Amino acid sequence: MHDAYIPPTFLRYNRPLRGLMIDNQPWFAARDFGLLIGHRHPERICRLADDDQLRTVHFAQASGDEEVVEMISESAIYRAFYRFSHPELRGLRRWLTH
């Protein structure tokens, strides 16, 4: 069994964004972030990231099970903002940086 994290969940536009601090760096659930920016295929958000910007973690669930989640680093998020530039994403970028 792996160490399972219990992530804090942030809400923006009534959508959840799960995140963690790992080794003093913020990491976010890639699928959650993809849905938040309105990407048609949120599971593809990891394709933009380099190997050092990706990590797989286990999240503990209330049922006692674990969920395997692909995480992206803060730098991968900024890369996605650059790739999917849209005026509405400015507010999300500001929200994440503060």
For the stretch 28-66, pLDDT in tens is 999 999 888 888 888 788 888 899 999 999 998 877 788
Tokens of 66: 């674990």
Residue 96 to residue 43: CA distance in whole angstroms: 20
pTM (predicted TM-score) = 0.82
Tokens of 25: 């760096």
Q: What is the CATH number of the domain that holds 85?
A: 3.10.260
Residues spanned by the domain of 73: 4-97
The helix (run of H) or strand (run of E) holding residue 90 is helix 89-97
**pLDDT number for residue 6:** 83
> Measuring CA to CA, which residue among 36, 22, 17 is closest to residue 81?
36
What's the structural domain count of the chain? Answer: 1
